[in-house]
Structure 1
Amino acid sequence: MKHRLLYILLIFSILCAACGDDLKFGPNPGFVIPEEPAEDDPKEDDDLEISYPDNREIVESIVYEAGKDSHIYFRIPALTVTKKGTILAFCEARNTKADFYEGNEEKFPVVPVGSTKDLGDIDLAVKRSTDGGKTWDNMITVVDDYNNTCGNPAPVVVESTGRIYLFWCWGRYPNQLESKFVSSTSDGHTRRVFYCYSDDDGQTWSTQYDLTSRLKKGDWSWYATGPCHGIQKQLAPQKGRIIISANHRDNGNKDNYSHIIYSDDNGSTWQLGGRTEIGGNESSLTELADGSLLINMRRVVKDTNGNDLPSEYRTSAISKDGGITWGKSVVNQDLIDPGCQGAIVNYPINKSLSNTLLLSNAHHSSSRSNLCISKSVDSGISWTTPLVIWSGRAAYSDIITLQDGSVCVIYENGSGKFGKANPNEQISFYRVPPSLLGDKLNL
């Protein structure tokens, strides 16, 4: 009996040492997240024909609103649609200090954690809509890690199975500010890369899987997934490849890059893809009609001392090998941008990839405002701006198409409900139904 007790204590000590204090994910210190899921892949789904109400009206709704759903405010939206046609609207649900918190304290349900908006208690949330974005179900918390940060949602749906993957990044409070990672003063902690998944149309979510050792190089400092939807390639080369856009900073020279994460086995394993030239940041990608990839990026411009300069425009690059290598980055002077995230999608013709691309961003050279949809009919070489969605303060967004041809945008915006207008007051949804595509987007 004595030897058995000693054996149990020895095993317990080994397990404690193995877990260590590296992550402390959640309220249970030492809980280490596994790298690979044990669950089997779901069976393949049959194709479904989806239809949505179309009364020749633009569908507009508020999805998340500051001070609601037990959180101070909401940022960083991402959008996808399931095999069943349910629209999923992801975001960061923040209990941090919003720009408009002071002077409006009584309007918020909790006291913020930390003294900055990007530092502290940030959860990942999703809302579901089964009527084309007119109404939204109650908020579902996908990930909540106490006062730590869980952010940068990047969802993607597997075409054959319907499984919904959600990639995101984790940072420890209070040492996960981007500036601390860049300057190597984050007490040795690192931005970590996770994913989870849903097999029931986004209603419930799996445990969290840590792929940091596989998807992040040791000399990289800052790291972020998306934030926006991912894609699955429809054409060769690498037909069926699932791809998530991401970005990082090299710790040695502090330069910004965009890169990709990919899977060639429906998400069973994930690999690190290629990175673009210096100057890429938050990015979104789409497949072109010839099977190549186009990545469109927030542009980072620096002076000789390494200080950020106004970006003014967006930038893009092409990959001919499924994202393993990228060509020269090109500045898109038709796409003015204040230095903000944006999103891109291929608009299919007769359910096939086309030369028509749509992009959502804050279409302004210096201010986060004027949320627009821009259109290219030559695979991203040139752009026009046919539709203004919100002319006031606006910032991050995502854009997708539905099976019936609708174009959907989710975006941050504000009109001054807490005083001076702020783009982080709410997250709104906008859908152009098929009957209005000609009038609104000349499609």
Structure 2
Amino acid sequence: MNQALLRILLLTVLRAFARNETINPAIADEQLLWVGGEIGEVHTYRIPLLTFTTQGSLLAFAEARKLSYKDIGAKFIALRRSTDRGATWSPTSFIVDDGSLEDGLNLGSVVVDEETGAVIVIYSLCFHRYHCKPSNTMMVQSLDDGFTWSAPRNLNPQLGLMSFVPGPGFGIQKRHPPAVGRLVVCGHGSIAGDGLFCILSDDHGNTWRYGAELKSIPYKQHKNNLDFEPDECQPVELDDGSIVINVRNNKNYHCRCRMVVRSLDGGESLPVEELVFDHTLEDPAVAAGALEKEGVLYFTNPASTNSRVNLTLRWSVNRGKSWVKDTLKIWAGPSGYSCMTSLKGNETVDHKYIYVIYEKGQKDSIESVSFVKINLYSNQ
């Protein structure tokens, strides 16, 4: 390692530790974005996603399940848009309507291309293959900051017929070598080919191919409790260029906690020697949120081994090797899937806040979708 790179890494670590002395997260604002049953054409809102655009707008997405709370069935992709960092929101619009498919669509990941400004949403159709075949990996995009959206495009001619549902969460665009500019979206497969998989694009989303994979054991077979089944996942890029993927441990293999696996080659592979089980991140087998901001790694999930309750924010200053003992309890009650984002800007407000969207309820975690603005430095 050359001296210049060593100095950069040392400064990064020192800055992270300095920040840790002052990190004291507190909820600055919270709003319900969607409540199930309020609108006649939607029974339940689930699977929330959140991202900033290159123009600074905040976009919130959810699966709008038309007829029931179930994973299968007809759905919309719902969108609300904020131009003031979440203070106010547009009415709900539906950017995708799968019609009346019995198997329906499943979200999904959103990825923003920092070079073109495109906002890309990737989702699955007929993922469960109960009532329709084949499974299709679909994509829509907005080139005008989330106002209008393209017609859905089927990626199967490029990716093949494998069952794949991204995320849920966000995809990344590589900022550091290797593969700067590459779009990386990770997700999981069904019994037809289960495990963790990433799809890659090196031309701004025009073409996609499969990259890294971490297959289940036993592969392509129904799983029992304690089998190895990496599932829903959230990738983040660290400042050393590695991609760390926080993974749902669906059958509680080895622990009731999160799997974490790392790609060192831009999402091309996931070596098994880079897989660890993070016992600090206890988990009831759920989709969780992860975010890297200014050298600090943040994580949200229902912090429980058995139930979807107690949505909690944790943070790490050493790339997830350990977690600061302090935590922020966002919601003690029923809570489920979550996703985080932050604005990469130069204003003080951009450094100070992160934003969380999550499933929240009083009796059940899927009653509503809530948006939370978190002040990272509330004691300053």
What is the number of residues matched between the two proteins? 331
The 3 A distance-change label for structure 1 pair 196 and 269 is: same
Does the CA-based 8 Å contact 2:255-2:279 persist in structure 1?
no
1:380 Cα shift?
1.4
Partner of 2:366: 424
Does the CA-based 8 Å contact 1:311-1:337 persist in structure 2?
no
- How far does the alpha carbon of each residue in 1:137-163 deviate from its partner, in whole angstroms, 9 at most, with x for none? 011111102112122131111101211
Aligned to 2:190, the other structure's residue is in SS state strand
1:209 Cα shift?
0.6
1:214 Cα shift?
2.5
Give the alignment partner of residue 437 of structure 1, picking from 355, 376, 380.
Answer: 376
CA distance in structure 2 between the partners assigned to 1:360 and 1:122 by the alignment: 26
1:120 Cα shift?
1.4
Does the CA-based 8 Å contact 1:283-1:298 persist in structure 2?
yes
Q: Is 1:161 equivalent to 2:107 in the alignment?
A: no
Partner of 2:246: 296
**TM-score, normalising length: structure 2:** 0.82
Does the CA-based 8 Å contact 2:310-2:333 persist in structure 1?
yes
Partner of 2:67: 96
Does the CA-based 8 Å contact 1:91-1:153 persist in structure 2?
no
- How far does the alpha carbon of each residue in 1:17-67 deviate from its partner, in whole angstroms, 9 at most, with x for none? xxxxxxxxxxxxxxxxxxxxxxxxxxxxxxxxxxxxxxx970211111112
The 3 A distance-change label for structure 1 pair 426 and 311 is: farther
Give the alignment partner of residue 347 of structure 1, picking from 282, 289, 293.
Answer: 293
CA distance in structure 2 between the partners assigned to 1:249 and 1:154 by the alignment: 17
Aligned to 2:360, the other structure's residue is in SS state strand
Aligned to 2:376, the other structure's residue is in SS state helix
Larger Rg: 1
Partner of 1:139: 92
1:280 Cα shift?
1.1
CA distance in structure 2 between the partners assigned to 1:268 and 1:277 by the alignment: 27
Alignment of 1:276-425 (within 5 A): 276-278=214-216, 279-301=229-251, 312-328=256-272, 329-348=275-294, 354=295, 356-384=296-324, 386-403=327-344, 404-405=350-351, 406-415=353-362, 421-425=363-367
Give the alignment partner of residue 28 of structure 2, picking from 58, 66, 71.
Answer: 58
The 3 A distance-change label for structure 1 pair 131 and 57 is: farther
CA distance in structure 1 between the partners assigned to 2:131 and 2:84 by the alignment: 47
Q: Is 1:275 equivalent to 2:221 in the alignment?
A: no
Structure 2 letter corresponding to 1:210: N
Structure 2 letter corresponding to 1:321: D
- Structure 1 stretch 317-326 or stretch 263-272: which is displaced more? 263-272
The 3 A distance-change label for structure 1 pair 74 and 439 is: same
Partner of 1:203: 147
- How far does the alpha carbon of each residue in 1:410-435 deviate from its partner, in whole angstroms, 9 at most, with x for none? 000111xxxxx011110000012xxx
Unaligned runs of 5+ in 2: 1-25, 217-228, 345-349
- How far does the alpha carbon of each residue in 1:216-252 deviate from its partner, in whole angstroms, 9 at most, with x for none? 4x5x4x431111111111100001111111111353x
Unaligned runs of 5+ in 1: 1-55, 99-116, 303-308, 349-353, 416-420
Give the alignment partner of residue 82 of structure 2, picking from 114, 120, 129.
Answer: 129
The 3 A distance-change label for structure 1 pair 143 and 311 is: farther
Does the CA-based 8 Å contact 2:27-2:372 persist in structure 1?
no
Partner of 2:52: 81
The 3 A distance-change label for structure 1 pair 199 and 187 is: closer
Superposed CA RMSD in Å reads 2.0
Partner of 1:258: 196
Does the CA-based 8 Å contact 1:310-1:339 persist in structure 2?
no
- How far does the alpha carbon of each residue in 1:246-280 deviate from its partner, in whole angstroms, 9 at most, with x for none? 111353xx7x4111111111122111111125321
Partner of 2:5: none
Identical-residue share of aligned pairs (%): 32
Q: Is 1:67 equivalent to 2:17 in the alignment?
A: no
Aligned to 1:214, the other structure's residue is in SS state helix
Does the CA-based 8 Å contact 1:96-1:118 persist in structure 2?
no
Does the CA-based 8 Å contact 1:311-1:338 persist in structure 2?
no
1:346 Cα shift?
0.7
CA distance in structure 2 between the partners assigned to 1:383 and 1:340 by the alignment: 19
Aligned to 1:301, the other structure's residue is in SS state coil
Structure 2 letter corresponding to 1:344: A
Give the alignment partner of residue 235 of structure 1, picking from 143, 152, 176.
Answer: 176
Q: Which has the higher contact order (CA 8 A, sep 6+)?
A: 2
